[in-house]
Amino acid sequence: DTAVSQTPKYLVTQMGNDKSIKCEQNLGHDTMYWYKQDSKKFLKIMFSYNNKELIINETVPNRFSPKSPDKAHLNLHINSLELGDSAVYFCASSPRDRSLSGNTIYFGEGSWLTVV
Amino acid sequence: QQQVKQSPQSLIVQKGGISIINCAYENTAFDYFPWYQQFPGKGPALLIAIRPDVSEKKEGRFTISFNKSAKQFSLHIMDSQPGDSATYFCAASTSGSARQLTFGSGTQLTVLP
């Protein structure tokens, strides 16, 4: 059973379209994230979210918005897609506790977005 | 501003050799330093992690060495195997309500058979 699952795995879409990537975790974690990995494999956090706060990386365009219907889900909505949005988007989650293992972030397998 | 600098960008090692990847950080508030391993087509997965109150942590063939005064830490892979070929990321974070990892730029490790 996949701990952090995201769909779709591959997405090809045209510039200007609006798309969503869904994410679900079955680990009972309280914090979820979205990371972006560019073509050079550099990983950069976009959002972190728990039931108390949403932290947005200030470099993320407001065309990107996270939506969490419940604790186990954090979907990523992207409006007016641009060529530069092409990347791999990873959903992730982490538990509440502050032990060493509590800092562990568990990643999904990624969603490959290609904007043409 | 890149808060975690990683080197080398790529590394080729013979089977059985030692792979060494280095990272340096700037933010002295960081208190958690993990290494993640990523295979092609997969998400990063935690490999090993350390807190700054110890100088070394070993798990099997993988060892983290940590130098708090120099603000540096490194990953050593002993007896490297072709199955270790992957991209390795160092990272750092502070404790808090949202534990955001700051990643290094990654090292592409290739272990030759």
B105: which chain A residues are within 8 Å (Cβ-Cβ)? Answer: 40-42
How would residue B96 be classed by pLDDT, with cut points 50, 70 and 90?
Answer: low
Q: Are B54 and B68 in contact (CB under 8 A)?
A: no
Stretch B17-23: mean pLDDT: 98
At B37, which helix (H) or strand (E)?
Answer: strand B33-38
Q: Which residues of chain A have pLDDT under 50?
A: none
Can you tell me the distance from the alpha carbon of B113 to that of B102, in angstroms, rounded to the nearest whole number? Answer: 33
Q: Position of tokens 């939506």?
A: A67
Cβ atoms of A113 and A11 within 8 Å: the answer is: yes
State whether residue A51 sits within 8 Å of chain B by CB. no
Distance CA B20, CA A85 (A): 33
- pLDDT of the residue at A1: 63
- Cβ-in-10-Å burial (0-12, 13-18, 19+) of A34 comes to buried
Contact B90, B78 (CB under 8 A): no
Residues of B in contact with A4 (CB under 8 A): 43
Q: Which of B5, B39, B66, B99 to mutate to test the interface with A (most CBs of A within 10 A)?
A: B99
